[in-house]
Amino acid sequence: MAGSSSLPLFPESRGHGPLAAVEGALAVPGAFGRVAVFGGVYSNHSALRAALDLARKRGAEAIFCLGDLGGFGPYPDRTCALLRETGVRVARGNYDDSIARGLDDCGCGYIDPRDNFFAQVSYDYTAAHTSTENRAWMAGLPPAFRFRLGRTLVLTCHGSPRQTNEFLWESGTPDGLLRHFLDASGADLILGTHTGIKWERRLEDGRGFVNVGVLGRPENDGTPRVWFTMLDVDPERGWRAEFVPVDYDQQELAREMREEGLPEEFVAAILTGWWTTCLEILPAKERLRGKH
Ligand SMILES: [Fe+2]
């Protein structure tokens, strides 16, 4: 991490409107040259371990996790332990918020009965296997971070800056909405996750949005790899995002999922790379790229 600088961090949110979900964002002092960012671990502790190794090898000065630690995979406390031991800066996603508060569901807002069924199976499993200590840790996580990447002011969020569980898909997010979030926050770059599929957009004025992807589940592209994002300083354009594929032992994770009695539908998604559940949330354009 570089030293302090006279560049100000941007204004605090006022608790409503376009920044309601990032009120209380934690400002990280200093300025970074290169960071790694991911979200959606979904208890895939194996992919998390592989991603942390890769991020360190690539020279990440800090590692940020944008939330959704549990769900889908096995042994949720293993993911929490890894994140806590390795000093990753973790923000709270909708899943973590629900687990921390002991709510009845993950707050993803599924309507389709089949999607709802599977979401509930994974939520109930995760809630039953997350320790009291880890729940308390989640409850104390900030909703977001603000930090500097060179001269670029970065704001993280989970779904969107206005709503933690809002899905910002590439096909359904107009430039005007991104501009609205950027104007309201004063950020040059906003990072999010939550949808499960990465994407990036740079506006004409150089500001932008990056969905950093998820580590917990493949991207519905027929390959079992998962993704995180490396961000660094671009001398001419301010910031640069690189999506990094992560390979890990999917067979071992599948074995653990079966050991824990998790649905075969989840195991199939890990092994094949095609989503088998939560399909209702996909817009037509993103769904057409998939198999189901
Ligand atoms: Fe989420």
Question: Residue 39 falls within a domain, yes or no?
Answer: yes
| Dist. CA 209–CA 241, nearest whole Å | 10
| Overall average pLDDT of the 82-98 stretch | 97
Question: Residue 1 falls within a domain, yes or no?
Answer: no
Rama region for 17: left / alpha / beta (φ>0; ψ in -120 to 50; rest): left
Instruction: Find the 40 Cα to ligand 1 centroid distance in Å.
Output: 7
Instruction: Find the 201 Cα to ligand 1 centroid distance in Å.
Output: 20
Question: Residue 5 falls within a domain, yes or no?
Answer: no
What is the domain extent for residue 73? 18-288
Question: Residue 112 falls within a domain, yes or no?
Answer: yes
pLDDT band at 223 (very low <50, low <70, confident <90, very high): very high
Instruction: Find the 233 Cα to ligand 1 centroid distance in Å.
Output: 27
Question: Residue 156 falls within a domain, yes or no?
Answer: yes
CA-closest candidate to residue 281, choices 112, 73, 37? 112
Q: Quick check: 53 pLDDT over 50? A: yes
Instruction: Find the 207 Cα to ligand 1 centroid distance in Å.
Output: 24
pLDDT tens by residue, 180-197: 999 999 999 999 999 999
Instruction: Find the 165 Cα to ligand 1 centroid distance in Å.
Output: 6
Instruction: Find the 159 Cα to ligand 1 centroid distance in Å.
Output: 6
Instruction: Find the 166 Cα to ligand 1 centroid distance in Å.
Output: 8
pLDDT band at 79 (very low <50, low <70, confident <90, very high): very high
Question: Residue 195 falls within a domain, yes or no?
Answer: yes
Count of structural domains, the chain:
1
Domain harbouring 28, CATH code: 3.60.21.10
The pTM is what? 0.93
Q: Quick check: 171 pLDDT over 50? A: yes
pLDDT band at 174 (very low <50, low <70, confident <90, very high): very high
Burial status of residue 14 (CB atoms within 10 A of its CB: 0-12, 13-18, 19 or more): exposed
Instruction: Find the 196 Cα to ligand 1 centroid distance in Å.
Output: 8
Question: Residue 10 falls within a domain, yes or no?
Answer: no
Question: Residue 275 falls within a domain, yes or no?
Answer: yes
